[in-house]
Amino acid sequence: MNCKKIKKLIQLYIDQEIDSEKTQVLKEHLKTCASCQREVNTLVSLKKLISSQEKITTSQDFIAKVIEKIRKQEILKMNLEGAAKRLIPLPLALGLVTFIYLGSLQIRKENFLEEYLLSALDEREVSLFIDREIYEELF
Amino acid sequence: MVGRKDKEILTLIAEDKEYGFKMLVEKYQVQVINLAYSLSRDSSLAEDIAQEVFLKIFKKIDSFQRKSSLSTWIYRITLNMSYQFLRKRKFSLFSPKKYSFSPEDTQEKKEIINIGLSRLPLKYRIVIILKDLQGLSYKEIARILNCSMGTVESRLFRARILLKKILTPLIKEGL
């Protein structure tokens, strides 16, 4: 096997994604190839440095803060729903719903345009985040 | 990952949403904040992103269809949320300090690696972060990014070649 193919095996090896058969092929090659041995050392060092990057923890009251935010949002939602029921007569409510719906259509159109422009700028990067499955699950 | 199994957490959420949700946050908060941090390099922003991620999870957990595993779903939400936050900042994905010296110790090398990562195109940076910082398998990364394992493998391969090219002039004595 030539060095070009061996480099792919080196990656599998350092990522612990290699099977025993390929490990054997790699070991045999490394016995006689100084260049690939250097490649192993470089990639191992690189991986070690990346994986030892600083890690952080959440603040001590992180869960409490999240729960508090959830409660605030739920209270706000309930208040808005209650106020809407008490204060808005049916014809006005229907008018309001129509107005909001038409407004949302416009926003969707703008969002779509923004996404399109972004994807036109760098389609490959942005497409990572806007695949259909993710959006189906999220929105 | 420590703590309860995902299946157990989902059952707890179905029985008592707030309690089950606390268990979910307890289990995933470190991964979520560190993924956000590795993309933003701003601990305060990473905490804000993490909070929004869990808020989103709380709102959407009832409609979680289990098409993917819970961890995959959470990683996806974190990536999307980080992306949304960073886009608001006009793609100012962590702005590293400028270095004009040759790094000699490991701490300096780590800083240089940060610079190298920041210069990688996003799709390459993400696979490196998920593999080398989060320690995920090719299979898990493929599920999160909704691509094949072969794509993950080739992106990682290219990412490392690019990273070495970027780092070579910065680290004179080599890695």
Domain B106-167, second-level architecture: Orthogonal Bundle (1.10)
pLDDT grade for B46, boundaries at 50, 70 and 90: very high
Q: Which residue of A35, A46, A73 is the best one to mutate when testing the B interface, meaning the one whose CB has the most B CBs within 10 A?
A: A46
pLDDT value at residue A130: 43
- Judging contacts by C-beta atoms under 8 Å, the chain A residues touching residue B34 are 55-56
Contacts of B170 (CB under 8 A, 6+ apart): B99, B103, B112, B115, B116
Q: In the prediction, which pLDDT does A7 show? A: 94
pLDDT tens digits for range B133-147? 999 999 999 999 999
Amino acid B101: pLDDT: 39
Chain B residues in contact with A50 by the CB 8 A cut-off are 113, 117, 128, 132-133
Residue numbers in chain A where pLDDT is lower than 50: 116-117, 119-139
Whether the pLDDT of residue B153 is over 90: the answer is yes
Q: Which fold is adopted by the domain B6-88?
A: Rna Polymerase Sigma Factor; Chain: A (1.10.1740)
Say what percent of chain B tops pLDDT 70.
86
Tell which B residues from 37 to 96 touch A, by Cβ distance under 8 Å.
37-38, 43, 46-47, 50-51, 54-56, 58, 60, 64-65, 67-68, 73, 76-77, 79-80, 83, 87
- The answer to whether the CB atoms of A46 and B160 lie below 8 A apart is yes
A51, B175, B125, B137: CA torsion to nearest 10: -50
Q: What is the per-residue pLDDT for A16?
A: 95
H helices within chain A, ranges in order? 3-14, 20-32, 34-51, 62-87, 90-126, 132-138
pLDDT (0 to 100) of residue A128:
47
Residue among A12, A54, A57, A115 with most chain B CBs within 10 A, to mutate: A54
b/e B32-58 (16+ beta carbons within 10 angstroms → b): bbbbbbbbbbbbebbbbbbbbbbebbb
pLDDT confidence of B86, banded at 50, 70, 90?
confident
Q: State the pLDDT confidence band at B115, using cuts at 50, 70 and 90.
A: confident
Residue ranges covered by each domain of chain B: 6-88, 106-167
Question: Which of A122, A58, A107 has the alpha carbon at shortest distance from B78?
Answer: A58
Question: For residue B61, is pLDDT > 60?
Answer: yes
Q: Do domains B6-88 and B106-167 have the same CATH topology?
A: no
A42–B174 CB contact, under 8 Å: yes
pLDDT of residue B146: 92
At B2, is the pLDDT very low, low, confident or very high (cuts 50, 70, 90)?
A: low
* Å between A60 CA and nearest CA of chain B: 11
For B145, the closest of A17, A128, A137 (CB atoms) is: A128
Q: Enter the tokens of residue B144.
A: 């999160």
